[in-house]
Amino acid sequence: MEEQLREAVRSLCRGYPESYWGALDRERAYPEAFVRELSEAGYLSCLIPEAFGGGGLGIREAGIVLEEINRSGGNAAACHAQMYTMGTLLRHGSEEQKKRYLPEIADGRLRLQAFAVTEPDAGSDTTSISTFAAREGDRYVVRGKKIFISRVQHSDLMILLARTTRRADVDRKTDGMSVFLVDLRNVGDRLRVQPVDTMINHETNELFFDDVEIPSDALIGEEGKGFAYILSGMNAERILLASESIGDALYFTDRATRYAGERTVFGRPIGQNQGVQFPVAGAYIRSRAAAALRDQAADLYDRAEPCGAEANMCKLVASEAAWEAANAAMDVFGGYGLAEEYGIERKFREARLYLVAPVSNNLVLSYVGQHVLGMPRSF
Amino acid sequence: MNIVVCLKRVPDTETRVRIDAEGTGIETDGVKYVMSPYDEFALEGALRAREAAGTGEVALVTLGDAASGETLRQGLAMGADRAVLLDGTVTPDGLATAKAIAAEIEGVDAPLVLLGVKAADDDQQQVGPMLAVVLGRPCATGVVEFAVEGAVVRCERETEGGTEVLELPLPAVLTITKGAYEPRYASLKGIMAAKKKPLEQKSAIAVEPGLVVERLELPPDRPPGRVVGEGPEAVPELVRLLREEAKVL
């Protein structure tokens, strides 16, 4: 099954070679055709239960889909949010919400690709968010701002975390936040979307909520308990993004291995030199270690067991493996690594993101130091 | 209309082949196996014919060991309806394979039997025509496109500089080559559905092979290239060598 899934995704991706992704990168364009085909073939909805028209698979299989996309030279970041937000909707959404949205998400008519948590003054410190949703009759009125909210312009739905009780008025700082499933098609012009230009082709935005009205039935689960709902989604996100990093690492080691075998200098292939060989081999080993940790985290997640430590750790190891592989590939390709035609420089820029997103690796270290090892808290 | 597609599990065409210790087979350690690409064309042709007809089933048959079940599952994921794994040893004797497959197909109501033009591993191109003989049916080989029209099947073959169109009465056997049938990949629903489709495993009838492999050898390393000279004055010598030594002109 796992191998079959990999093969099928690889076949699909062969229709979208590096020249496709390179052109999108230059034009800063969204991979519309790719996302459509991936949705129609059902791979984006693998986490949606079969009863709602999805594949009914686990986070492990979802990770494999994303890994293979990135390994092929593509960039799964254009569409991964549907997968990592799914847990929040599946585990905490109402039957009515699931019936209303899941079948259309499953067949690709609706896109749930935006996840709005981060704010200019609240990044990793999520409980400091100040975007506020005030209940007024049968609706909520939202005011505040968010930043680095990706794919809003290519999404129909957005998961939003907002305070419904101010931080000063709750006993525990994790209380008083709520999750909403915002239908971006009906949100009106009180939500302003301001693109943030970045060094990679990744549509990301600053959002300004100027008394945006959303119906009260957009609330997921119970009011005030949103932080816990979001946390399980964040574990999913770490596992899935780790999978993308593993795919990136393997992309670099695949390309570097091939090039090192073909490129001849001083009458022999450069790969014959251990100085060229070892960094690629080392990065490959690290990517396999990351995959083993990812599989462990995914299995725990799929059994609905606590997986915070494993999810964080696999994200750190995978992002470092990808970055190590990216640098090794750059060295193997020499000057050609920087030439756009070769694709390495694009993937190099893209792979860098996951050392700091969706959580900085330093915060992973601090999580493990404090929560796994029990060392004194720094904050 | 029901169609049977015969498949073979073969080493990935990108495999770097190594000869085994006995010198009669290849090292199978670390080899990745795939559905023979020509069989994929045949399966794609069968799926499109079924879709065009709107009825009927596509059944897969293979001769091989238990691992061939994976290849059948892949075919089911692409859209075939059921599969039969004939558990037995694949020998290089095409006739032995044809007889084993014929024993299964004889009992099946399927007017059209499709195979790849050849298996990507041994390249023999025997099983299709031999199967047709054993079944007593007409056969067209190297078909690039076909269409069932009533009681006949029209086939297109590519010949040197032209196209040959054949018409065969059904039931018939066709071997398919690269052309109109770029194979689809499995959708997620296809992969999920394949798990529930019937995959029957039975013992293949025993056929004593009339052919054994005595020895396998890798081709010799290619000699390095030779620079004959530079500029226009080297051309006559190059032409002479191409004609007399390489014998390609």
Write the DSSP string, chain B: --EEEEE-EEE-TT----B-TTSSSB--TT--EEE-HHHHHHHHHHHHHHHHHS---EEEEEEE-TTHHHHHHHHHHHT-SEEEEEES---S-HHHHHHHHHHHHTTS--SEEEEESS-TTT----HHHHHHHHHT--EEEEEEEEEEETTEEEEEEEETTEEEEEEEESSEEEEE-SSS-PPPPPPHHHHHHHTTS-EEEEEPPP---S-------PPPPPPPP----SSGGGHHHHHHHHHHTS---
Per-residue confidence (pLDDT) for residue A247, from 0 to 100 = 98
Residue of A95, A133, A59 lying closest to A82 (CA atoms): A59
CATH superfamily of A2-106: Acyl-CoA dehydrogenase/oxidase, N-terminal domain (1.10.540.10)
Is residue B235 assigned to a domain?
Answer: no
Phi, psi of A57 (to 5 degrees): -100, 180
Q: A51 vs chain B: nearest CA distance in angstroms? A: 12
Min Cα separation B57/chain A (Å):
22
In this structure, is residue B119 part of a structural domain? yes
Alpha helix stretches (DSSP H) within A144-225 = none
Of A3, A7, A43, the CB nearest to B188: A43
Establish if A56 touches chain B: CB-CB under 8 angstroms. yes
Are B192 and A5 inside 8 Å of each other by CB? no
Tally of domains in chain B: 1
Half-sphere exposure of B96 (CA within 13 A, CB side): 17
The minimal CB distance from A8 to the residues B70, B186, B195 is found for: B186
Closest-CA distance, B184 to chain A, in angstroms, reads 9
Half-sphere exposure of residue B189, counting CA atoms within 13 Å on the CB side? 13
Determine the pLDDT at residue B224.
78
CATH 2.40.110.10, chain A: domain bounds: 112-224
Determine contact: A7 vs chain B, CB below 8 A. yes
In angstroms and rounded to an integer, the radius of gyration of the C-alpha atoms of chain A is 21
Whether residue B191 and residue A11 make contact (CB cut-off 8 A), yes or no, is no
Q: Using an 8 Å Cβ cutoff, are B25 and B213 in contact?
A: yes
Probe site for chain B from A3, A5, A7 (most B CB atoms < 10 A): A7
φ/ψ bin of A115: left (φ > 0), alpha (ψ from -120 to 50), beta (otherwise): beta
- φ and ψ of B152, to 5 deg: -125, 165
Q: Which domain holds residue B134?
A: 2-203
CA distance B58 to chain A (A): 20
| Two structure tokens written together for B7 | 């498949």
In the chain, the amino acid numbered A355 is: L
Residues of chain A where predicted confidence (pLDDT) is lower than 50: none
Q: Is residue B150 part of a domain?
A: yes
Helix locations, A126-166, DSSP H: none
Q: How far is CA A361 from CA A77, A217, A328, A352, B12, in A?
A: 18, 36, 20, 12, 39
Q: How many whole angstroms separate alpha carbon A21 and alpha carbon A200?
A: 12
Both structure tokens of A68: 């293979």
- List helix spans (H) across chain A: 2-14, 18-27, 32-40, 59-71, 81-92, 95-106, 226-262, 274-302, 308-333, 344-352, 361-367
CATH code at B69?
3.40.50.620
For residue B45, being part of any structural domain is answered with yes
- Dihedral angle at the C-alpha atoms of A327, A329, A334, A339, nearest 10 degrees? -100
| pLDDT of A84 | 87
> What is the least distance, in Å, from the CA of A87 to any CA of chain B?
19
Q: Which residues of chain A does B76 touch, with a Cβ-Cβ cutoff of 8 Å?
A: none
Is any Cβ of chain B less than 8 angstroms from the Cβ of A106?
Answer: no
pLDDT 10s digits, A165-175: 999 999 999 99
Q: Which residues of chain A have a CB within 8 Å of the CB of B189? A: 42, 55
Q: Under an 8 A CB cutoff, do A4 and B70 touch?
A: yes
A13–chain B Cβ distance below 8 A for any pair: no
Asked if A4 reaches chain B (Cβ–Cβ under 8 Å), the answer is: yes
Strands B58-64 and B82-87: parallel
Q: State how far the Cα of A78 lies from the Cα of A160, in Å rounded to an integer.
A: 19
Residue A166 · residue A157 · CB < 8 Å:
no
Q: How far is A363 from chain B (nearest CA, A)?
A: 36
ipTM for the complex shown: 0.83
| Residue B18 dihedral angles phi and psi, to the nearest 5° | -125, 140
**CA angle B13-B18-B19, nearest 5°?**
120
Q: Looking at chain A, which residues constitute the CATH 1.20.140.10 domain(s)?
A: 228-372
Residues of B in contact with A46 (CB under 8 A): 188
CATH number of A112-224: 2.40.110.10
- Per-residue pLDDT at A231: 85
Structural domain includes residue B160: yes
Residues of chain B with pLDDT under 50: none
The CB density around residue B187, as the number of other CB atoms within 10 Å, is 19
Fold of A228-372: Butyryl-CoA Dehydrogenase, subunit A; domain 3 (1.20.140)
Q: Specify the residue for token string 């238990």.
A: B66
Q: Which of A4, A12, A42 lies nearest to residue B74, judging by beta carbons?
A: A4
Tell if the CB–CB gap between A11 and B189 is shorter than 8 Å.
Answer: no
> A57, A39 in Cβ contact below 8 A?
no
Chain B residues with CB-CB distance to A under 8 A?
70, 73-74, 77, 185-192, 194-195
- Cross-chain residue pair B73–A42, CB shorter than 8 Å: no
Shortest distance, CA B2 to any CA of chain A (angstroms) = 26
pLDDT at A123: 84
Residue A97 has, within 13 A of its CA and on its CB side, a CA count of 21
CA A207 – CA A149 distance, rounded (Å):
7
**B216: in domain:** no
Kindly state whether residue B157 falls inside one of the protein's structural domains. Answer: yes
Q: How far apart are CA A59 and CA A238, in angstroms?
A: 11
